[in-house]
Chains A and B, each alone.
Chain A
Amino acid sequence: MIFLWAFLVGGAICAVGQLLIDVAHLTAARVMVIFVVAGAILSGIGLYPKLIDFAGAGASVPITSFGNSLAHGAIAEVKRDGLIGAITGIFELTSAGISSAIVFGFLASLFARPRG
């Protein structure tokens, strides 16, 4: 069942992104920013973690999940350490995504050449 919801929810988030580009005439870069901010806000009001429970990778793979992780980490540290957590906790949960993209990006530039 989790596979079906992952497909449907993940696909729906991407479809919303496409509609924002084609109908609302936003650039892809703007849509990405809107999604990541939306993920952070939905995390703050506690909705995004519930969506991840429900749809699994359908919610944790789209870029909205990046906003959720940033906010989730910050809120967790605010709970533990107080206000300073809003700074110290932001990258607590997102290390895997950013670090792996940087490392693989570096390796790709080492071994591969753009084909045009």
Chain B
Amino acid sequence: MECAFSDDFDQLHEDPYLGQPSWEKAERRLLEEAIAETLRKGKIEAQKVNLLFAGDLLNQIISSTFAAQTAGVPYFGLFNACATAGEALALAALLIESGMATYTLAGAVSHNASAERQMRFPTEYGSQRPKTAQWTVTAAGAGLLSATGEGPSVTWVTVGRVVDSAMSDPYNMGMAEVPAAVDTLVTHFKESGRKPSDYDLIVTGDLAAYGLEAAQQLLRDAHLDLGERLMDAGATYYGSDPSVQAGASGAGCIASFLFGHLLTRMRRHELNRLLVVATGSLHSPVSIEQGDNIPCIAHAVALENN
């Protein structure tokens, strides 16, 4: 499984274990590499970073904790499932805006195999994934924010509410995230007074193929016709590879798509005004087994070239 936009990534691996003895150790390695590469490209020493915001999908967000230990910087661990990168970016930007930090880091990671075995089945188990299933990406993304610089800049943050999706099927998370994504988008345009035409592109996290269709319908009902402006990272991540079913998901999906692909396009000025709506399904295996609906969230972050 290879991302359709992997040319924009700084590092690619052939070995899903990254030479590590376990999936979990491979996952933390991914985030360690993403953070180190981000600092290298930003030409900033780790000691200058005031705070790292990072998260992942594993229990006790263990991958981020070990990556933060390796980075040796002050750390706030986050969990917002697949929306974690949006949460991290929002907090990292707000801290800079408050004047309390000069450099902050935001990052998130997921690994397909570690997520499968924690949330679903052993990786070699022969289960048939339904059409609505999504493929947890094996990727990490990290971004460095600073009080000064040439941009792009974070210009708006809309923090989402937790929305009851009324859905309980963990094989249909993209659809479950639709109400949260629409809720946050409506709030964003209301509170900012901005219009959809103020953005070149509006990218949701991982609604995937079917969720994206439903979101387009709900947004039309909300008098927000985003049309061609609306794109979903999960639905585009693997191109048209049918083996991923409805598309990609995972904390590393929007993280690598945003910090790898979208920011590259912004630096090339193919995109100048971008709204990222990171979406997440916040259930746990236990909450699903106890019959709870999937609680979902979406955070919107606007990025603009100066």
Direct contact of A and B (CB under 8 A): yes
Q: Which residues of A contact B (CB under 8 A)?
A: 21, 28, 114-116
Across the interface, A114 reaches (CB within 8 A) one of B113, B127, B128, namely B113
A116 touches B128 (CB 8 A): no
* Interchain residue pairs with CB less than 8 A apart (9): A28-B127, A28-B128, A114-B122, A114-B124, A115-B16, A115-B123, A115-B124, A116-B16, A116-B113
The complex places the Cα of A35 from the Cα of B14 at a distance, in Å, of: 41
- B23 CB-CB contact with A under 8 Å: yes
The complex places the Cα of A116 from the Cα of B138 at a distance, in Å, of: 11
Q: Which residues of B contact A (CB under 8 A)?
A: 16, 23, 112-113, 116, 122-124, 127-128
Complex contacts, B116 vs chain A, CB 8 Å: 116
Chain A contact residues, majority secondary structure: loop
Q: Which of A21, A28, A114, A116 has most chain B Cβ within 10 Å?
A: A116
The complex places the Cα of A28 from the Cα of B130 at a distance, in Å, of: 11
Q: A114-B122, A115-B123 are in contact. List 15 more A-B contacts (CB 8 A).
A: A21-B128, A28-B127, A28-B128, A114-B23, A114-B113, A114-B123, A114-B124, A115-B16, A115-B124, A116-B16, A116-B23, A116-B112, A116-B113, A116-B116, A116-B123
- Shortest distance between the CB of B113 and any CB in chain A (Å): 4
Q: Which of A21, A28, A114 has most chain B Cβ within 10 Å?
A: A114
Complex contacts, B113 vs chain A, CB 8 Å: 114, 116
- Shortest distance between the CB of B254 and any CB in chain A (Å): 22
The residue of chain A having its C-beta at the shortest distance from the C-beta of B122 within the complex is A114
Complex contacts, A114 vs chain B, CB 8 Å: 23, 113, 122-124
The residue of chain B having its C-beta at the shortest distance from the C-beta of A28 within the complex is B127
Complex contacts, B23 vs chain A, CB 8 Å: 114, 116
The residue of chain A having its C-beta at the shortest distance from the C-beta of B26 within the complex is A116
The complex places the Cα of A102 from the Cα of B123 at a distance, in Å, of: 18
Complex contacts, A116 vs chain B, CB 8 Å: 16, 23, 112-113, 116, 123
The complex places the Cα of A115 from the Cα of B16 at a distance, in Å, of: 8
